[in-house]
């Protein structure tokens, strides 16, 4: 089937101290395409450069060589302000340690993001999608880790972004909670037809993705598509 | 191991420069204010004390008004007084400088008491040489010849000659002030300077005595010294009252004898005239008879002036204009030292509390690790203690240095600009330094220990983990759903964040409020002084010149005096009153307060010259037959209310009780006003008119001087006072206060800056994660700043509003403290003051925001969120 390209990464490198003795190549000539509506997993050992790649895709960092085209725009040409605008309109981000604002309720944590979007989801609706609408008036400290992570996902989704990015979203969660959280991502992609990219070091969750990119030592080691993703309930790790 | 810990402390300071220096700065500021304000009055007093010692300033001075001088008998009696150590006699006379509207006091070269310092040229040695006080150095130079005369340009009967060659310029502790050296009957009624010449230049005998006592101890201005001198001098006044009384009796007896002789002669002549009628001898005898009649009249008239002969005994407060003011000025500075530093230390304590807590929070894992490694709690506490002792010590050193060297100089420049004295003598007072070091240690060590102990109660294992962020909580306002739901999302967030840390919230508010209160107070000093002049001279005092004349002068002389007023074209109106200078002793004041007693001749016309209105209600006050009207500041000084009795004493020390019927508004000077009926009741004599209150058409200073000079030329004149001279004083005070105001403003600005910087810095540091999250979410830099600055801005705004209230109160307090004993402050601050103060605080808040913006914008959002 003819797939529409959503993201094109072309010979992208992130090189620190280039040309010097202590040169570090965090990303080294990476290229791949991501089609519209894919759930993508980028997998690799810690230090492989997968987080750098995700940060570049999310407009939080920039590459030093190559092109990154998202939804037709070459974001590697953006300046700081351009990247901020890009994050604001296009990206929903989920962190390993949730990073909810402690002094805001679940609902307000979602609202603070939806304030930024031209076309936001209703905050209660977003919380409903992560099954937390009943906890909307709770503060982060009153919720478990998994609940907090789901609020964090609701916050990312509330902006109604074209691309949902998650950095080790299950890293701080137990097995069952981790599964719940992954389910939310899968549902999001299936229901909205939008893209999500999850970065993880846990290779065991690869089968749930439509597309798996393996990074090793700053380079793409493998780039495979999976036409029959496994339902999350069947995953074991 | 010890070294490793020390190394750690250095690293800690390096890593938190902003925090370290802001606490250090606050401590230094507090110490500066405390040590500076405590040292300054002592430095000021020591500076003039040096002058008094160098010049061996007399403890008291006796003077008599004529050039007949003290007799040998009198000198013996004075010397015999048991307290008297040394007496030195000299000459003194007031003179007009011919061709100038200037009056000076000429004294004979002192011997060992009350000497002078020659500033340029040399001391006069001949009867035709003169050295001038520095007050006149702008108008004359060495080598000039000046002519000294009486008011009618005639030679003074007190001086042998009238032309003097200027040989030099001198400085005297008896004439320290630049202006207002006292009143005189010469020229315009104000002394413009003094001069010294050889005793040979004077006619008659020595009429002034400089005394030193043998039973006084302690330094000038100390209670020990002042009380003893006062007691001695009060006794001395009684002694000289007796001498004067004897002198008057002797003089009168002489006159009586002369009159008797003359009358005998007269009878003889009358017989001769009758006998020799028609002969040429008769006309000769008639001429002799006329001459004798004239002599008898003259002699009888001089008896009246003999009644005026009084001797005065004065302490330095009386004979050295400026002595009291210098003591008073330094006392007023001292008063400030009891209030302002408390505020600075309170803010320093609060801010260092928050800072140490933050430091402990940041370092808790490290302390936990040290404990886990086997260090005892005390050892890990050591780092905090060393850190805080270091801050307190450095802060004290810096603050002390500025407080001891800079503040006294600046304040001395301000207050000392009205005096001729040495440059400020800087001394080190240890107790304020030790007290402030103690307070500084308390402000830093206590929070450090308290915070660390709080953490120590936890197990090392828990302590090794970072402290969980404070839980979010609902605020009370959220219960008020009606209002809460109307607030915008960001307003809700701001409100909840502000209320999350109430200690910090109050500190920001109080820090800002305190700073703006200081600013308002600083500018308010100017406001109040500026308001005083129009209030006093447009609404209360309507006369421009007070012409004092001799009530015992002949009718013809008094008529001439009044004619001079009536014929002057510039006089709008005038009225006669009885006026007396009285003393009132005030608790806590080393010298008496001077009170003008006024008894109008025409009660109905009096309000055209002086408005008497109730100090509270503003209602016009009428003079009653059974009580007097007393002015506000006097009533306040004495703590008296309507119905109470006020004790006044005259120059001779006789006391009378005056019942207070009403208290009237008045801003400078003390007055007691009563009608003739009540005066008779109190003093047992009729009030003779002895002063004219004069209102001019042209009210300029020069017109007032012209009027005063004209009046002083009359035979009946005693002196003339210009009511407007206070305006010049206030201008001088305003200029000299600029330095003090500047110091207050700088201190307030630094305070605002440090408080806002420290608290915003901690707030930002604590919430780096939150700010990074916002950045990642796509907040533009301005929005991120706005998110956190909305809190700083609201707290600053609230602080400013509360500060307006504080400022009003502190200003009122300060003005009541810094005003001289005879001046009331005008309450209230101007809108311009509030505006400028607000602007300055906003400016400092913006600087803090600008600095913080750089920090926030540089935050590595990815690093912070790991």
Residue whose token pair is 């002797």: B250
Q: B776, A87: Cβ pair inside 8 Å?
A: yes
Pair B202, B159: CB distance under 8 Å: yes
Q: Pick the residue from chain B with its C-alpha nearest to A105.
A: B472
- Each residue's pLDDT tens digit, B546-604: 999 988 888 888 999 999 999 999 999 999 999 999 999 988 787 888 899 999 999 98
Identify the closest residue of chain A to B497 by CA–CA distance.
A103
* Closest chain A CA to residue B782: A81
Measure the CA dihedral A175/A176/A177/A181, to 10°: 90
Tell me, what's the ipTM? 0.91
Q: What's residue A1's pLDDT?
A: 43
By the 8 A CB rule, do B586 and B821 touch? yes
Bin A71: left if φ > 0, else alpha if -120 < ψ < 50, else beta.
Answer: left
Which residue is associated with the tokens 């299950």? A170
Extract the tokens encoding B38.
């405590």
Give the C-alpha separation, B85 to B19, whole Å. Answer: 63
The H or E element spanning position B60 is strand B60-63
How far B776 CA lies from chain A's nearest CA (Å)? Answer: 7
Q: Of the candidates B634, B640, B557, B560, which has an alpha carbon nearest to the alpha carbon of residue B597?
A: B634
Distance from CA of B751 to the nearest CA of A (A): 30
Cross-chain residue pair B778–A97, CB shorter than 8 Å: no
Tens-place pLDDT, residues A78-106: 998 999 999 999 999 998 888 898 888 89
List, in order of start, the domains of chain A with CATH numbers.
Answer: 38-64+75-234 (3.40.50.300)
DSSP code of A17? Answer: S
For the record, the structure tokens of B728 come out as 């010049």
Q: Which regions of chain B are under pLDDT 50?
A: 1
Give the nearest partner residue to A140 out of B472, B489, B492, using CB atoms: B472
User: Which of B769, B777, B865 comes nearest A116 by C-beta?
Assistant: B777
**SS3 state at B695:** strand
Q: Does B337 touch chain A (CB under 8 A)?
A: no
β-pair type (B208-213, B628-631): unpaired
Sign of CA dihedral B341, B347, B350, B354: negative
Strands A65-70 and A73-74: antiparallel
| Cα B701–chain centre separation | 24
Residue B672 tokens read as: 């007691």
Contact A89 B778 (CB under 8 A): yes
- Give the model confidence (pLDDT) of B235-246 as tens digits: 999 999 999 999
CB neighbours of B632 closer than 8 A, spacing ≥ 6? Answer: B615, B663, B664, B665, B666, B824
H or E stretch including B366? helix B340-372
Determine whether the interchain pair B493/A112 forms a contact, defined as Cβ–Cβ distance below 8 Å.
Answer: yes
Distance from CA of B473 to the nearest CA of A (A): 7
Interface with chain B: mutation pick from A59, A103, A117, highest number of B CBs within 10 Å = A103
Q: Is the pLDDT of residue A199 over 90?
A: yes
Contacting residues of B for A103, CB less than 8 Å apart: 470, 472-473, 493, 496-497, 500
pLDDT at B623: 94
Distance from CA of A99 to the nearest CA of B (A): 7
CA atoms of B776 and A99, how far apart (whole Å): 11
Q: Where are the domains of chain B?
A: 1-53+325-468, 54-244, 501-531+724-866, 542-722
Contacts of B812 (CB under 8 A, 6+ apart): B825, B827
- Those residues of chain A whose CB sits closer than 8 Å to some CB in chain B are 55, 58, 60-61, 81, 84-89, 91, 93, 95, 97, 99, 101-105, 108, 111-113, 115-116, 139-142, 155, 159
Mean pLDDT, to the nearest integer, of A41-53? Answer: 90
* Residues A115, B492: C-beta atoms closer than 8 Å: no
Q: Which two tokens stand for residue A98?
A: 């949730």
* B472 backbone φψ class: left, alpha, beta (φ>0; ψ -120 to 50): beta
- Tell me the chain A residues in contact with residue B779 when contact means C-beta distances shorter than 8 Å: 84, 88, 116
Residue in chain A nearest B468 by alpha carbon: A141
DSSP string across B814-860: HHHHHS-TTBPPPP---HHHHHHHHHHHHHHHHHHHHHHHHHHHH--
Mean pLDDT across chain A, nearest whole number? 90
Length of chain A: 237
How far apart CA B134 and CA B138 sit, in angstroms, is 8
Q: 3-state class of B93 per DSSP?
A: strand
Nearest to A154 by CA among A189, A101, A103, A114: A114
Does any CB of chain A come closer than 8 Å to the CB of residue B560? no
Q: Which of A180, A196, A237 is nearest to A94 (CA)?
A: A196
């Amino acid at each position: 089937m003819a797939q529409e390209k959503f993201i094109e990464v072309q010979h992208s490198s992130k090189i620190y101290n280039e040309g010097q003795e202590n040169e570090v190549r965090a990303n080294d000539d990476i290229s791949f395409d991501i089609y519209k509506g894919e759930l993508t997993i980028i997998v690799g050992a810690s230090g492989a450069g997968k987080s750098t790649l995700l940060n570049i895709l999310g407009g939080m960092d920039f590459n030093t060589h190559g092109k990154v085209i998202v939804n037709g725009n070459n974001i590697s040409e953006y300046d700081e302000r351009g990247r901020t605008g890009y994050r604001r309109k296009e990206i929903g981000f989920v962190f390993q340690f949730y990073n909810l604002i402690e002094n805001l309720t679940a609902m307000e944590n979602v609202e603070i993001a939806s304030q930024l979007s031209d076309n936001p989801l209703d905050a209660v609706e977003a919380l409903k999608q992560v099954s937390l609408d009943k906890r909307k008036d709770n503060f982060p400290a009153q919720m478990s880790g998994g609940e907090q992570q789901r609020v964090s996902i609701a916050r990312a989704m509330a902006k109604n972004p074209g691309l949902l990015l998650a950095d080790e979203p299950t890293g701080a969660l137990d097995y069952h909670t981790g599964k719940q959280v992954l389910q939310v991502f899968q549902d999001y992609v299936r229901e909205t037809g939008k893209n999500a990219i999850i970065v993880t070091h846990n290779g065991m969750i690869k089968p749930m993705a439509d597309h798996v990119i393996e990074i090793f030592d700053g380079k793409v080691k493998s780039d495979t598509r999976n036409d029959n993703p496994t339902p999350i309930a069947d995953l074991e790790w | 191991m010890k070294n490793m810990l020390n190394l750690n402390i250095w690293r800690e300071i390096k890593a938190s420069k902003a925090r370290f220096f802001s606490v250090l700065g606050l401590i230094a500021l507090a110490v500066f204010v405390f040590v500076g304000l405590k040292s300054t009055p002592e430095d000021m007093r020591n500076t003039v004390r040096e002058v008094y010692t160098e010049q061996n300033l007399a403890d008291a001075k006796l003077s008599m008004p004529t050039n007949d001088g003290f007799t040998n008998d009198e000198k013996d009696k004075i010397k015999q007084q048991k307290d008297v150590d040394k007496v030195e006699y000299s000459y003194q006379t007031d003179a007009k400088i011919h061709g100038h509207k200037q009056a000076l006091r000429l004294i004979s070269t002192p011997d060992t008491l009350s000497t002078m310092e020659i500033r340029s040229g040399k001391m006069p040695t001949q009867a035709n040489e003169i050295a001038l006080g520095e007050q006149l150095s702008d108008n004359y130079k060495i080598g000039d010849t000046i002519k000294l005369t009486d008011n009618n340009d005639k030679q003074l009967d007190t001086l042998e000659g009238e032309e003097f060659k200027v040989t030099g310029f001198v400085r005297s502790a008896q004439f320290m002030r630049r202006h207002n050296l006292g009143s005189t009957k010469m020229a315009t009624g104000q002394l413009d300077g003094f001069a010294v010449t050889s005793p040979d230049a004077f006619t008659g005998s020595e009429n002034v005595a400089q005394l030193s006592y043998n039973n006084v101890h302690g330094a000038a201005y100390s209670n020990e010294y002042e009380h003893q001198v006062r007691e001695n001098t009060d006794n001395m006044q009684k002694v000289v009252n007796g001498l004067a009384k004897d002198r008057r009796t002797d003089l009168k007896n002489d006159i009586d004898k002369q009159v008797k002789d003359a009358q005998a002669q007269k009878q003889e002549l009358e017989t001769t005239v009758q006998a020799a009628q028609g002969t040429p001898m008769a006309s000769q005898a008639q001429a002799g008879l006329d001459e004798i009649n004239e002599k008898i009249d003259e002699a009888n008239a001089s008896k009246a002036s003999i009644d005026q002969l009084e001797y005065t005994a004065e302490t330095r407060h009386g004979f050295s204009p400026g002595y009291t003011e210098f003591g008073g000025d330094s006392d007023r500075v001292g008063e400030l030292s009891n209030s302002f530093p408390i505020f600075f230390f309170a803010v320093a304590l609060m801010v260092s509390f928050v800072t140490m807590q933050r430091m402990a929070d940041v370092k808790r894992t490290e302390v936990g690790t040290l404990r886990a490694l086997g260090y005892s709690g005390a050892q890990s506490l050591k780092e905090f203690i060393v850190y805080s002792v270091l801050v307190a010590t450095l802060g004290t050193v810096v603050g002390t240095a500025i407080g001891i060297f800079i503040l006294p100089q600046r304040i001395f420049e301000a207050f000392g600009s009205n005096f001729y004295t040495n440059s400020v003598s800087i001394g080190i007072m240890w107790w304020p330094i030790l007290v402030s070091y103690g307070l500084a240690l308390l402000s830093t060590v206590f929070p450090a220990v308290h915070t660390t102990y709080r953490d120590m109660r936890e197990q090392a294992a828990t302590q090794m983990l970072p402290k969980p962020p404070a839980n979010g909580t609902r605020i009370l306002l959220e219960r008020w759903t009606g209002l809460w739901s109307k607030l915008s999302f960001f307003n809700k967030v701001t409100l909840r964040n502000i209320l999350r840390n109430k200690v910090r919230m109050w500190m920001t508010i109080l820090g800002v409020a305190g700073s703006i209160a200081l600013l308002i107070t600083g500018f308010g000093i100017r406001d109040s002084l500026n308001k005083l002049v129009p209030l006093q001279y447009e609404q209360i005092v309507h006369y421009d010149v007070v012409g004092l004349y001799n009530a015992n002068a002949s009718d013809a002389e008094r008529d001439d005096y009044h004619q001079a007023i009536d014929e002057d074209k510039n006089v709008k109106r005038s009225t006669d009153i009885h006026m007396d200078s009285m003393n009132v002793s005030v608790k806590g004041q080393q010298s008496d307060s001077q009170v003008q007693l006024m008894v109008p001749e025409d009660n109905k016309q009096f309000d055209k010259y002086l408005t008497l209105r109730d100090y509270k209600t503003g209602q016009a006050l009428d003079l009653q037959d059974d009580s007097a009207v007393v002015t506000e500041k006097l009533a306040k000084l004495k703590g008296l209310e309507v119905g109470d009795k006020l004790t006044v004493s005259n120059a001779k020390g006789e006391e009378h009780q005056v019942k207070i019927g009403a208290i009237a508004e008045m801003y400078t000077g003390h007055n007691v006003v009563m009608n003739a009926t009540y005066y008779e009741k109190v003093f047992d004599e009729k009030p003779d008119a002895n002063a004219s209150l004069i209102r001019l058409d042209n009210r300029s200073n020069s017109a007032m001087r012209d009027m005063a000079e004209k009046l002083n030329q009359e035979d009946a004149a005693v002196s003339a006072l210009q009511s407007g001279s206070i305006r010049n004083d206030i201008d001088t005070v305003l200029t000299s206060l600029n330095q003090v105001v500047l110091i207050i403003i700088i201190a307030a600005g630094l305070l605002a800056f440090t408080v806002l910087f420290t608290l915003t810095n901690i707030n930002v540091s604590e919430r780096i994660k939150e700010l990074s999250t916002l950045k990642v979410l796509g907040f533009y830099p301005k929005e991120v700043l706005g998110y956190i600055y909305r809190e700083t801005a609201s707290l600053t705004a609230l602080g400013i509003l509360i500060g307006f209230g504080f400022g009003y109160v502190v200003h009122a307090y300060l003005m009541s403290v810094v005003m001289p004993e005879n001046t009331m402050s005008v309450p209230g601050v101007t809108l311009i003051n509030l505006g400028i103060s607000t602007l300055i605080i906003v400016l400092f808040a913006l600087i803090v925001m600008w600095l913080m913006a750089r920090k926030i914008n540089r935050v590595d959002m990815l690093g912070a969120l790991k």
